[in-house]
Amino acid sequence: MVKMYSLLNSKKLLGLAAVVMIVWAASCKREAEAPEPKQLPTPYELPVPPGFPPPYLSSVNPLTEEGIALGKKLYSDPILSSNGLSCSSCHHREKSFSTPIFTSSSGEKQSVPPHVNLAFNPDYNWNGNTPELDLLCMADFEPEFFNTNKDSLYSRLSKHPEYPAMFNKAFNITDVRLLDYELLKNRICFAISQYMRTLISANSRFDRYQKNREKLTETEFDGMVIFFTEKGDCFHCHAGRLFTDNLFHNNGIGSSFEGLNKGRFLVTGNPADMGLFSSPTLRNIEYTAPYMHDGRFETLEEVVEFYNSGVKHSSTLDPIMTKAGKEFGLQLSTYEKQALVAFLKTLSDEEFVGLK
């Protein structure tokens, strides 16, 4: 019996040893396949053009080279959608990362704000309903835009030849399948917002003119004078090197407000905000038609004509728009209107939109 037990024990020991060997071998294999030890991504310092304000950066989503690279790739990759769309489907570089028009599910038309100099904006969208750039694209996964299929997204990202390593390098995510869906979308948006912060436009003809590197034509110069004086009074809302004051105004495009035309009121509920919209930057305005929040104007000439003769009064009309003698518009001559449009086109950054 003793011998039998010892034989049994020997067999058991052998079996145990085999199991240990297998487990050890397996563990060695896992170790070999595990991602590299955690390595911090490379911090990226955003270049701020002279005269620009400090950028609004995120403490929870600091800029890194790896995060920006991931965001740039995702921005133009339909992998995020089930309908073949990507961010760049609606934000065309040649249109300063904008698109001609967007029609909402309720049928209301909206012009799409360009993705330009967003790092310097305190809030986003026409009515400022998104205060964080990091969260700006969260809604894009919805049926109205990407109609993202959750399972497909996990599958395609995890099997992709590049994305697993890119997520790992950018956010130390070893396997995107381990993230819950909200967190996955969040990290995708983090990466895309990092990339969007790098979309900086500051090399227009006007910029070069200010550096004495280029001259304006006589007409453009006359337009500049109109822009920066009380004649046109454009500079109050389209202020500084950003050509926006990043504030909300009722510029007189309506006197009654329904639906999306309520503007900032839809965010704050404050009657004083009825019909107010964020001042858009005028950089690259030549490329971002149609104009106004609802895209009602197809050309810059129409926009200038509106300010010249079409301003409508309402209780929230900006005080700047009601100067004595100019209550209903600027009253510019035909030449002055042409000059103003000519100047606006000097704000085009051809390099930014890929024309140079």
Partner 1 sequence: MKPDSYTFVPVKSKSLSFLFVCLWAGFSALLIISCKGEGDPIITTPSNKLTLKIGYESDGLELKKGELIYVNDAGNKYSVSTLNYYLSAFALQDVGGNWHTSNDIFYVNAFDDQTNDILLQNIPKGEYQAIKFSIGLNEAINISNSLPATPENINMAWPDMMGGGYHFLKLEGNFLDSNMKTIGFAMHLGKSGFHSEVMISQPYIIGTGSSTLSIQMNVAEWFRNPHLYDFNVQGNYSMGIDSSMKKLSENGKDVFTFK
* 154 touching partner 1, by CB under 8 A: no
- Site for partner 1 (CB under 8 A): how many residues? 28
Closest to partner 1 by CB, 239 or 266: 239
Count CA within 13 A, CB hemisphere, residue 193.
30
**3-class state of residue 56 by DSSP:** coil
Following CA atoms 13, 14, 15, 20 in sequence, which dihedral angle do they give, to the nearest 10 degrees? 90
* 239 touching partner 1, by CB under 8 A: yes
CB of 210 to partner 1, least distance (A): 10
Q: Where do the DSSP E strands lie in the chain?
A: 102-103, 109-110, 248-249, 277-278
Closest to partner 1 by CB, 161 or 325: 325
* 327 touching partner 1, by CB under 8 A: yes
Whether 41 contacts 65, CB under 8 Å: yes
* Residue span binding partner 1 (CB under 8 A) among the ranges 133-141, 242-250, 259-267, 347-355: 242-250
Sorted by sequence, the CB contacts under 8 Å of residue 50 that are 6+ apart come out as 241
Output the DSSP codes for 274-323: TTBEEPPP-TTGGGS-SBTTTT-BSSHHHHHHHHHH-----TT--GGGG-
Given candidates 102, 154, 209, 235, which one binds partner 1 under the rule CB under 8 A? 235
* 320 touching partner 1, by CB under 8 A: yes
- Separation of alpha carbons 279 and 273, rounded Å: 14
Closest to partner 1 by CB, 11 or 211: 211
* 52 touching partner 1, by CB under 8 A: yes
Write each residue from 263 to 302 as x if it is in contact with partner 1 (CB under 8 A), else as -, in one continuous string: ---------x------------------------------
Closest to partner 1 by CB, 191 or 202: 202
* 76 touching partner 1, by CB under 8 A: no
CB of 229 to partner 1, least distance (A): 5
What is the dihedral sign for C-alpha 104, 110, 114, 115? negative
* 144 touching partner 1, by CB under 8 A: no
Tokens, residue 192 = 């895309």
Closest to partner 1 by CB, 94 or 230: 230
Closest to partner 1 by CB, 54 or 354: 54
* Residue span binding partner 1 (CB under 8 A) among the ranges 46-54, 75-83, 91-99, 301-309: 46-54
Distance spanning both ends of the chain, measured CA to CA: 92
Long-range CB contacts (within 8 A, 24+) of 208-217: 209/346, 216/343, 216/346, 217/342
Whether 67 contacts 194, CB under 8 Å: yes
* 228 touching partner 1, by CB under 8 A: yes
CB of 195 to partner 1, least distance (A): 23
| Positions 100 through 139 that interact with partner 1 (CB under 8 A) | 122
* 315 touching partner 1, by CB under 8 A: yes
Whether 280 contacts 113, CB under 8 Å: yes
Tell me the backbone φ, ψ of residue 207, rounded to 5 degrees: -60, -45
Site residues (CB under 8 A) for partner 1?
51-54, 122, 225, 228-230, 235, 239-242, 245-247, 272, 315, 317-324, 327
